[in-house]
Each structure stands twice: as C-alpha cells, then as structure tokens.
Structure 1
Amino acid sequence: MKCILVLHLLFLLYNVDGLKVLVCFPLPVKSISILGQSVVRYLMDAGHEVTYITVYPLKNPPTKKLRQIDISSNTALVADAQILSLAYILDNKLENSSPRDIQIFSQNIARNTLSHENVTKLLEDQSEHFDVVIADLLETELYAGLAVVYKCPMIWIHSMGANWQVLKLIDVATNPAYDPNYLSSNINPLSFTQRVEELWTRMQWQFFKTFFTQPGERKIYETVFGPLLAKRGRMLPNYEDIIYNASLIFANEHDAALNRPSTPQNFKFIGGLHIEEPVKPLENDIQCLIDNSVHGVIYFSMGSFLKSNSMPTNLTKNILQMFGELKQTVIWKFEGNNLQGIPNNVHIVNWAPQQSILAHPNVKIFLTHGGLFSSIEAIHFGVPIIGIPVRFDQNTNVNKAVLNGYALKVALSYDLPKDLKAAINIMLNDDRYTKKAKELSSVYHDRLLKPGPSLVYWVEHVVRTRGALHLRSPALHIPLYQRLYLDLLAITLTIVSVLIFLISTLCRNKTGKLHYLKKID
C-alpha cells in the first residue's frame, strides 16, 4: 500500500513538473502589470517555465525559467489620454467611462497585441507548445484564441472582483437587482431607481457587445488565428464557442469584502497575490521619518494610472496648506519636483514603497483613489482609508470599503482640501475605523492557502485534470429559454388558450342552441 501511495504521488508530481505556461498581460496599466508579474513569480518559484507577454518587461529577469515577449508599444494607446488627467477630469466634469468605451479600448489593445511582431513570431513557431494559457481579462475574450492554437486549457485572471460580465463566461450572469455594474457607484441594497438604472446599464452593455464589439472581435479572431490553424491543418472553432471554454477564472478580490455576488466553483479569489511577504524593509530616511512621527503618519497616493501631478496647481497648493495644519506627518506620492511651499510635516516622494509604508504600525490613515490593489493592501495591513474615487471601478471599491466600515468617501472636487480635512479629523478622533480595518484584516488572513500557493495549486490542478471539466457549471449548457422556463410558459399559455377557446366555443354553441329552441317554441 505504501509503495502504491508513493508511486501515485510521483505520478502527480511528474504531471505538474516543469509546465510550460503562457502568461499574457497586454494592458498598458502599470498596476495590472504588477499582478501579472506576481503570477509569473509564483509560477517560476514552483519550477514552471513561463513565457510572459507584457507591456512592462521585468528588468534583470532570470534567464532559465522566463522568456519575455515585449509589447511595450501598447503604451502609445494611453500616452496622451487626457481622461487620465485629474485637472481635465475636474474642469470637464467627466463622468465614468461608458461600457462601450471600455469595450472598444480593450478591443484595440487586443488587436495591437495579437498583431505585434513579437507575438506574431511566437504564434507562427509551430514547434512551440504550452500546457496552459493564463490571460488578463477586461471586456474582451480574444486571448482565448491562444489556448485554441496550443490545444491547452484556458485560465482567465481578472484584476477586479466578481461581477456579472466575468461570471457569465463560466456560469449564469448574476441579477442586476443585487449585482451592480463594476463601473457603478451604486451599492446594495439598491433602491427602485438604482435597480432600473442597473438593468438599463446591463442592457446597454449587452447591446453594444452583441451588435458592435463582438462582431469586431470575431473578425480579429478569424484574421489572426484562422491562418495559424490552417498551417497546422486544423479548423478554426467558432468564436462564440471558445469564449465560454475557460477552465477557471482567478479574481483579484478576497473573502473579507462584504457585498460580493455568489460565485461558481471554478471562480477563485487570489486577492493579495501581488503583496510580497515579508515586505521589503523601508529605506533609512523613510524608516526614520515614520518611526519618529509622534502623532502618526498619513499616507497619500492616487495610484500609478492617475497621477497626483496632474492636479490643478491651485488645488495642489490648497491641499499642501491643509496638510500643513495637521499634527501628523504626511507622506505624499507626488510625481515630479515642481512643488513649492511644502510644509515641514509633509514629505514628498516620486515613488513610494506603498506596501512597506502601510505595513508600519505608525501609519494611521491611507488616502487613496480606491483602486482595487490599494484597497486590498489596506485590508492586508489593517489600515483605514479615505477614498477619493475618480474612474473605473474605484467608486465601487470605495463604496464597499465604506459599507465594510473601515473607510470614508470624499468626492474629487475643488473643495477637496476642506472635505479631506473634515474626513481626516473624523477618522483620527474615531477609532472604530481602525478597529474595523484590523478586524477585516484578521478575516482576510484567516484562509487555508495564501493567494500565491493557491494560484499555483489551481493552475497545476487544471493541467493535471485536463481542463478541470468537473468544476464547470452545467448552466453553460442550458439555453436561456430553458433556464427561464419559457418553454413551460409557452406550453401552459397554449393549453390555457386552447381550454379558453374550447370552453368559449361550447358556451357559444350551447347559447345558440337554447336561442334556437326558444325561437321554435
């Protein structure tokens, strides 16, 4: 029996040893690339060989287990985007991007990526093979074609949390009455008006996807992957079939967050994957600064996609003046060296080791734009936040943090200094926010596997079980009319209609006969 168990274990190890993994992170968004780099790092540490399609190639990468496919030219698609300027957003009172805008943006990224000379060279090499494809998922499923080329399982990794656009690829889309769009600022429980708004938003999304975006994606899919499969002597599957063929979806969220929709068994949370443990030590100057801050530290960052230096000059000046009125030390991640009149208690850094700063027990408040990576880091280290959401999923993340009780929300406006100071004073004088952050941090850390080992396990499991078909939801194979029992409704209505017709016919005949008899009498 012992020999059989040993042989079985050796067989399992053999089947996962030295996998060849294709990882694709094509979006020109620095924070999302950090997630991709984390995926690569954990897979390499587990002994697997990784080919990494990336906009931000790693510097001084290991040469044995990693091959990088450089698509850094994708950054040109956002290089001059005014919608990423805080000053432009404020002055033009921009609303969040529409679903169609993001669909088109993602489609353009996919077109550029799949036609890039470095990617084309990889795909045309018929001697190349991979055991599994892992690709970033945002509003386009075109990268599922990579798994078709290499005849291997497809795994998506989503940089945000569970939402219906993602869940519908592996299960039934959740109900808009309780699952708001990831771009929405609505939070449960929804009012009647909000439910109607969410339903309308979903109808718009589906309309654009069905009649505009998806036909365009199908053309790209056929143009790129059709010739590749023809050279390999294979037929190209239908695009509408392969987009629902994923074995697994990883989501950058965690179970400590309230207000999440229910998820199927092949949807796995790996929120916190990008957080290194243990965190890197702080440089001496920042370490001393935080250590010696008698009243604690407030850390301020608007992330990597939206930059603090794009704020209007007057707004920046007023924020600095407000910070100077505080007792606390303020560390502000501000790109550039053009700030004037910096108060003594304000420390400006062009780049901040955010995780290492948040890990310090002397940090009292995190001022953030509310990106999901920053939100997860706040939970990981148990630091309350004041959210200043601007675009994308930031409103949703901050609203959830407020609902969870460890955050306050402040709108981006020219009144930001006044509103921010009021929120800071509330949080400094009410320890409930800190206590809640610590409580949720405890829940976050209380899990069977940390996100890195969990990711490696499930990737290996998918390959080991040849696509993890046993995890897939049966809902994918059930047509909409059957799920909604429209066939039963049609049969019921037909039977009722026939009965009504027969009864009415009998009644008319009986009435006519009685009338005839009376007429004879």
Structure 2
Amino acid sequence: MSISDVLFLTILSIFLAQSECHNILAVCNIPSKSLHLAAVSMVEILAEKGHNVTLVTAYECNEKQKNFTHVFLKDTAEVNEKRFANYFDFDLNPYQILYIFEQLGIENSRTTFEDRAFKKLLNSQQKFDLLIVDTLYSASLLYLSEYYNIPVILYTSLDSGYATNPYVGNPAPPSYVPHVMKYYSSEMSFFQRLDNALISLVGELLLNLYALPGHDEVVKSFFPEAPDINEYSHKASVLLMNSDVAITEATPKTPGMVYIGGFHIKENKPLPEDIKHIMDNAKDGVILFSLGSNIKSSQMPRSRVQEILQVFSKLKQVVIWKWEEEDLPGKPTNVVVKKWLPQNEILAHKNIKLFITHGGQHSILETVFYGVPCVSLSVFMDQASNSFRAVNLGFAEWIRYEEFTPEKFENAIRKTLTDPRYTEMAKKRSKIMRDKPITPRETIAFWVDYVVNHKGANHLKVAALKLSWYQYLLLDVVAFIVIFLFLLVCFIRSVIKYMLSSFCKKKLKEKNH
C-alpha cells in the first residue's frame, strides 16, 4: 500500500468518525417556557451536527429543521396552564417552595406519562442511542434510560445544587456552598451556616423520603416491571450545567459536571427594523425591561405598573418593555412596549445602557455575556440567589418584588446608570465568560459524542454513588470509633479496678500478718 493510499484512508477514517450521527431523545417536561426555549436551542445544536434529535416538551414548537422532531405534550400543557397561572401570586417561604414544587413535579410527571403524545412515542418502537433529560422535579424521567437501555446525560438550567448533586454524587458542604433558595455568599456567618445547613437537610429529606418514592410510584404505576428508582437514578455520568464561572462562586464539581452557560446565545443576528430604528436613534441610550418568558409583566397589579411607569417617565433614556398585551395605557412617551423582544440582539446593541430583569439564569448569563449592567427585580425561585450573586460580583442592583417601592426602584436605576463601576464589572465578567478554549455549543456536541462512544462514560462516576448515606457521612466509622473508645475505656477501667482491688487485698493481707 502506497503512502498516498494510507493518507487517503486516514483522512477518510477521520471524516467518518466526525460525521457519525446518533439518535437522541431529549425530554424537558417542566412547565417553563424559558427551559423549553433552551431545550430547543440545545437540540438545534445537535441537529446541526448531524444527529437525529427527538425533543419532548410541553410547549408548541414551530422550528423546522432537518434531523429535528418535536413531540408536543398537549395534554400536559393544558393541565399546567391551571397549575401555573400567575407567578406574582406566589407568596411562599423557601421551605414551602421546596415541598410544593416537589409535589407539583410528581403530579407533572404522572401527567406526562399519561399524555397521549408521550404514550405514542413510547409505543412507537423507535430506537435511541442517548437520553438527555432535565431532572428538576422530574426524576421519574430517568426511567427512560432503562426503558430504551441507553446512556443518559443530565441537564440543568442552573448551577449544581440540591436538584442535581444527588444524581452525580457531587459534594456540597453547607458550610460554604449556599443553597439555591438562600441568597448567601460562600463566606457565611454562623447563623447563615445554620440556616443553610437546615434547608439543605430539609431538601435531602424531601428528596429521599418524599420525592424519589413518589416518582418511583409514578413509574411503577405505568411500568410494573420497572426496577426501584435507586437502581437507575445514578446512571448518568455527565451533567451539563447552564451556568458559568463568570456568574457564580467556585464550588466542588465531579469530573463529569460541565459548564455550558450561554449555549443558547447566538451572536450577530440582526435586529428587527422597528426596534433597530428605535435603538439607533436613542441619543441617551436604551433601557431594556423584561421579566423573562415565564413571568408576564401584564399580570402585575395595575398600581405597581403605574409606579413603574412613574419612575420611567423621569428618565431620559428610551425604555423598551416586554409587555404581553397590545397596549399599555398611560405609558410616557419614552416607553415602547412589545409583546415579544429579541433580548439577545437588544443587549448586543451599542446603545444599550441597562437591563432591568427578573434575575432568571438565562437573563443573567445574557447580560454578563454582553457586558451590560442590570437592575434585578426578583419574583420567585432562584431569582433572588442569582440576583444576590450579581450584586456581589458588582454589576447589578437588586430589589425583591415584595419589597418594591418607586423610590428604591428609581435609586437603583440611577445608581447603575451613573456609576461606571457597574459597567466596568459587567465587562470584566463578560471577558471571563468569553475566555474559553471552545464554545459552549461545541462543548455540548463533544460531550454527547463522548458519552455515546464510551457507552455511558462510567469511568467519570465518583465512588460516592455506591455508598449508602451513613457510609457517605462516615457514621459507621464514627460509630465504630465511639464504640471502640467506649470499650477501651471500660477495659482500662476494669484493669485499673482489678489492679487496685488486688493491691488493696495485698495490703490487707500484709496488715493481718
């Protein structure tokens, strides 16, 4: 064989290896529009790489792309419309949120397995090579890896936390790793550590004593032959995290935990002409106001809307507000409302000065990526902890929705607009986020191939997954040491007692003689 033949075969083998495609099933049944949009972005990336991807979500999808099939859980969507009506009505403490959302997760999973479209997919005899699943309140979906006998990759819209750590054996000492429901830094006071430890313990108990048994019951009600959930809940070796070191503090990560924060961001997309005209001609700059995909500004009480408009009327900047109704009565001339906004493209524009956000993970990632300072108006769930970290990192001001006053809101806006340190820190964080050897989109494609090619990549799993809870906490070792020391003390005490008794008897005997 000539050298040219060898070279040709080598190039051909490389090409074939790179063009290998897989059949991938991605499931995100969580009733969150932002998570649905992120899931769509992920499967688009994989479809572009040549993989055949089937995406299952509870929202309609109009994407038309080669290699991409969408399964719409219409029945699940209809039920969720009643469960999640208005996020401004949520007035719950962190412990209530943990319980209620675990409960809703079990109910939502049951609805998913009952969904006609989902049943049709399961009965179709379609074959897959890989499962990608978001396990947030959806642990029962992990059974699909058993059903299809395929490896699984976990995805989370957050950083590592109580909803993902147990599945990959990741340590999260509450002494310095804040719980997602608490807005603490890694340097906590004694009482903060006490509070953080308590909610972490409650979360673990809820997961192991309520959530996992509940999801196990759901699975077995549809698949009586299914093994116990503990036999497949630790099957994943890789967790893709929609987070980044630029927006969070350093915490422990197992080898298979991978940052992909910002994978949904597509640069250099043109703005719609109407919005472009507004932004190009805003001589004092533009402020973007959006509460994300799930929270609707139009559902706020009208009194609160008027307070916000009153603050906006005092500003010289143009305010573009994502408002879900046709019009906003009483809006000042510097306020423009749109039902839908191309958030990424607006944040990329040179005239953007400030982003007023709800503090959702995707919005924080986007504002950091483009180096735009923000004011966060957090409403529920992880938005408070996201906002707290943004303040700590120096590129944001933060107001909790329930503590809103027009004075606080105006002061936060003016402070962020006039103090150059906010913009400087936003750009510094942007530089950190962009400084990567490969893009988040390429990272996703790499790890999908890696897990499939290595049959699940079990070599990335930590041994903690094989330990029971008391072994992991070394309670058996502690018990052994305590019992050993107790027996040793008893033995020494007995020996001393015996020696003293013998000595006394000897002395008594000598005295009698």
1:378 aligns with 2:376: no
Partner of 2:310: 321
Partner of 1:231: none
Q: 1:194 aligns with which of 162, 185, 192?
A: 192
State the Cα RMSD in Å.
2.2
Distance 2:255 2:496 in 1: 57
Q: 2:464 aligns with which of 471, 475, 481?
A: 475
Partner of 1:441: 430
Partner of 2:400: 411
Deviations 1:449-475 (A, max 9, x none): 111111011101111111112222222
Distance 2:243 2:181 in 1: 16
In the superposition, the TM-score normalised over structure 1's length comes to: 0.91
How far residue 290 of structure 1 moved from its aligned partner, in angstroms, is: 1.1
How far residue 487 of structure 1 moved from its aligned partner, in angstroms, is: 4.1
Cα contact 2:76–2:115 (8 A) shared by 1: no
State which drifts further: 5-14 or 507-516. Answer: 5-14
How far residue 164 of structure 1 moved from its aligned partner, in angstroms, is: 3.8
Query: Which amino acid in 2 is paired with 1:270?
Result: I
Fraction of identical pairs, as percent: 29
1:391 aligns with 2:393: no
Structure 2 gaps of 5+ residues are none
Q: 1:255 aligns with which of 241, 245, 249?
A: 245
Query: Which amino acid in 1 is paired with 2:76?
Result: N
In the superposition, the TM-score normalised over structure 2's length comes to: 0.93
Deviations 1:112-135 (A, max 9, x none): 112211111221233x21000111
1:368 aligns with 2:357: yes
Partner of 1:305: 294
How far residue 187 of structure 1 moved from its aligned partner, in angstroms, is: 2.5
How far residue 411 of structure 1 moved from its aligned partner, in angstroms, is: 2.3
Structure 1 gaps of 5+ residues are 228-235
1:116 aligns with 2:105: no
Q: 1:223 to 1:16 in 2, by over 3 A?
A: farther
Q: How does 1:145-224 map to 2 (within 5 A)?
A: 145-224=143-222
Q: 1:5 to 1:519 in 2, by over 3 A?
A: farther
Deviations 1:255-278 (A, max 9, x none): 212314121110111111111232
Aligned to 2:168, the other structure's residue is in SS state coil
Aligned to 1:391, the other structure's residue is in SS state coil
Q: 1:491 to 1:322 in 2, by over 3 A?
A: closer
Query: Which amino acid in 1 is paired with 2:407?
Result: K
Q: How does 1:21-100 map to 2 (within 5 A)?
A: 21-59=24-62, 61-62=64-65, 64-81=66-83, 84-86=86-88, 88-89=89-90, 93-96=91-94, 97-100=96-99
Partner of 2:502: 513
How far residue 34 of structure 1 moved from its aligned partner, in angstroms, is: 0.8
How far residue 309 of structure 1 moved from its aligned partner, in angstroms, is: 0.8
Deviations 1:464-504 (A, max 9, x none): 11111222222222444444444443443343333322222
Partner of 1:17: 20
Q: 1:496 to 1:267 in 2, by over 3 A?
A: same
Q: 1:9 to 1:111 in 2, by over 3 A?
A: farther
Q: How does 1:213-362 map to 2 (within 5 A)?
A: 213-226=211-224, 236-278=226-268, 280-362=269-351
Deviations 1:34-55 (A, max 9, x none): 1110111011100111111122
Distance 2:238 2:404 in 1: 45
Distance 2:459 2:62 in 1: 40
Q: 1:222 to 1:80 in 2, by over 3 A?
A: closer
Distance 1:176 1:140 in 2: 24
Query: Which amino acid in 2 is paired with 1:389?
Result: S
Cα contact 2:106–2:218 (8 A) shared by 1: no
Cα contact 2:327–2:337 (8 A) shared by 1: no
Cα contact 2:22–2:52 (8 A) shared by 1: yes
Give the aligned length: 506
Distance 2:67 2:120 in 1: 20
State which drifts further: 76-85 or 343-352. Answer: 76-85
Cα contact 1:387–1:398 (8 A) shared by 2: yes
Deviations 1:231-252 (A, max 9, x none): xxxxx43310200011311111
